[in-house]
Amino acid sequence: MPDEFEEAAPSPKAPCATGLLERATGCVLLGVLAVLGWMTLAAYFPEWGRVGRVEVEVAAVVLLLFAALGLVSLLALLHTRR
């Protein structure tokens, strides 16, 4: 008879899906770090590092930040559901 405080054995598919999500989240967070470094350099050297129009750059950065926020939130939710 299992004790009520024992953790149930994880399903075989859960670690694989969670591991893939963790890797994707890590890549997006590294992208956020790279973008922050790029924004700092672009502020000091405006003629260097321009990708396109400022509006396109801002939209890309905001989209990356929202993706990072969503992935980290989803990953935290999945870790609490175990």
Query: Which pLDDT score is estimated for 56?
Result: 92
pLDDT digits (tens, 9 = 90+) for 15-40: 677 899 999 999 999 999 999 999 99
Please, are residues 14 and 78 in contact by the beta-carbon 8 Å criterion?
A: no
Q: What is the pLDDT of residues 42-67, one digit of tens each?
A: 889 888 878 888 899 999 999 999 99
Q: Map out the domains of the chain as residue ranges.
A: 21-80
Helix segments in 1-82, DSSP class H:
13-44, 54-80
Contacts of 17 (CB under 8 A, 6+ apart): none
At residue 1, the pLDDT reads 56
Q: What CA–CA distances, in Å, run from 73 to 10, 52, 67? A: 21, 30, 10
